[in-house]
Amino acid sequence: MNDSHEYSSCDTTQEELTKAISQLAESLFEDSMKSNTSFVTEMRAKFPEEMNIESIHAIVGYSLDQALTAMVIDRFPEAKNNRRLLNALMAWEKIYRITGNLVEFVHGTMVCCMDCGRWIANAYIQFVRTGDPPDMTIDEKCFWKPEFGSAMEWMTLCESIVQMQCGRSQDFVAIYSKLALNKK
């Protein structure tokens, strides 16, 4: 008889699994901190005085926004002279996360929600480029579209997310609330 023990999923306790996930998350965080050491050192050299959180956000946020803008314009040169498209591209991640989380809230499950959020964010970019609302038809080849809300409601939500970057949240609250009322 073989003395080696083969582990099955039943051999791992919830506590062991939680500990392993925590250790993995901690390791990933530490790796991230190490990979950004040179950036932090450079920022400390440029701004040697003590900084409060407002200063950190202003200085680092501005640097990151400038880097993101440069990369977006490099990859999407038409955005250089199209402020609406540039703003939409700059807000892509916020659009995808907010819309994906809204779909999760309404559906009550995480299944395909972020895929749906990515589809909405990309559909919005196309809408900004062409003015044509996206096709909301769901079938076997494109099942990741939201099952609620009209194309224009989703495009309005996306536009309001872009506007939130300037602190304008009224339109966002109104359209988000309307779409959220579809909760099953």
pLDDT tens track, the chain, 184 positions: 455 555 555 577 888 888 888 888 888 888 888 888 888 888 888 887 878 899 888 888 888 899 999 999 999 999 999 999 999 999 999 999 999 999 999 988 877 889 999 999 999 999 999 999 999 998 888 878 898 999 999 999 999 999 998 888 899 999 999 999 987 6
DSSP assignments along the chain, one per residue: ---PPPP-GGGS-HHHHHHHHHHHHHHHHHHHHHHTHHHHHHHHHH--S---HHHHHHHHHHHHHHHHHHHHHHH-GGGGG-HHHHHHHHTHHHHHHHHHHHHHHHHTS-TTHHHHHHHHHHHHHHHHHH-PPPP---BTTB--S-SSS-HHHHHHHHHHHHHHTTT--HHHHHHHHHHHTT--
